[in-house]
Chain A
Amino acid sequence: MTSVESVVKVGIAEMGIVKSPQLIRTAGLGSCVGVVIYDTSTKIAGMVHIMLPDSNLTRQAPVNADKYADTGILHLVDNLLLKGIKSYSMKAKIAGGAQMFQFSSSGTDMMRIGPRNVEAVKEKLAALHIPLISEDCGGNNGRTIEFNPENGKLMIKTVNKGVCYI
């Protein structure tokens, strides 16, 4: 309790890594998904703020890896491996993937992007054999999340429902 906590902010389609006593946070997740991958022994954690499910959707060069579920999670895992974390000790928590608006007509697939992001994130974590410890996904509200690598808790704040920890 002697050290001062600082918070590292992760923006949209960005990635960050912290070590306790630092915290890591991303604000205003809507359909985006915040993925935290952490290791309880080294107390290092990384977070990526994902916008879209699949990098094959891109028409951009070069691709911003952190924007997509498939490439963003891989990029995060690679960076955690560089920090000396063993892949078998990695665990994950996720939040976000809301559907902020319900459009009945003109339903481009983009309107269901939240649930699709969550599916894609889960598939990628499963493929990499990273256990998903807890999640707070779906619904139709925005979330701000903050992870504490000291105790492995993910704080979730919403406008209407207050604060909870998963």
Chain B
Amino acid sequence: MNNEDKLNELDLLKELGNIGAGNAATALSQLLNKEIHMNVPLAKIVSFNEMMDLMGGSDRPVAAVFLRMEGELSGSLFFVLSLDDATKLINQLIPDKKISVEELPSHELGLSALQELGNIISAHYLTALSECIGLAVTPSVPQVTIDMVGAIVVTGLLEICQVSDHSIFIDTELTETTDNQIEKTKGHFFLIPYPDSFEKILAALGEK
């Protein structure tokens, strides 16, 4: 395959990220009653260690919701937030029980709210993706955790790493527009398709 084909494939994957994260951003906007925007996704073939750098260093502490895509496509989807943003989002969801960043890791109700938020917006991401490519994708029950981003995302690399030292990495950033027009990052979607799904995605997108 020549480089031009490869770039075209990555553009198609970027488009996929656009569709998925666009729907998720709309869902998040409605949930929080705020304007949430999405930046143009990044689709890259990266080494595992480059991926860690792109995520801000493998020991950066984050709150993450993780789910597996199953069905005609398989892969991993992560919704990742800084601890500050996770706390702010939770406080918007359960306003009568304000929590602090320090309380977050052991706050059951807060984590449960975050899991539900992750559940809703990941479902929007995957439904849009599934409809767009015409392949059935079922999400697993999402899991939420607070830890180092590298330790978390490596779970999504276990299938791929038996085949390769590189992975397709689709990252979409969500931002919030505030009154003073300063955009603040609200979170990232990291989509990591498994190797066999990759071909299926390209075939499905190519036919459109």
Contacts and interface: CB of A to CB of B under 8 A. Distances in A.
Pairing of A with B: yes
B75 interface: no
Interface residues of B, number: 32
Interface of A is mostly: loop
A103 B143 contact: yes
Contacts of A29: 150-151
A136 interface: no
B146 A159 contact: yes
Interface residues of A, number: 35
A57 B140 contact: no
A31 interface: yes
A51 B140 contact: no
A12 B48 contact: yes
Interface of B is mostly: mixed
Contacts of A14: 49
A100 B68 contact: no
B192 interface: no
A51 B158 contact: yes
Contact of B155 (A59, A100, A105): A100
B27 to A, nearest CB: 23
Interface stretch (A77-85, A125-133, A137-145): A137-145
Contacts of B165: 13, 60, 64, 67
Given A51-B154, A142-B59, 11 more contacts: A28-B154, A32-B154, A52-B158, A60-B162, A64-B165, A98-B151, A100-B145, A103-B143, A140-B145, A142-B147, A157-B59
The 8 closest A-B pairs by CB, nearest first: A28-B150, A142-B151, A28-B58, A30-B151, A142-B148, A11-B49, A27-B59, A28-B148
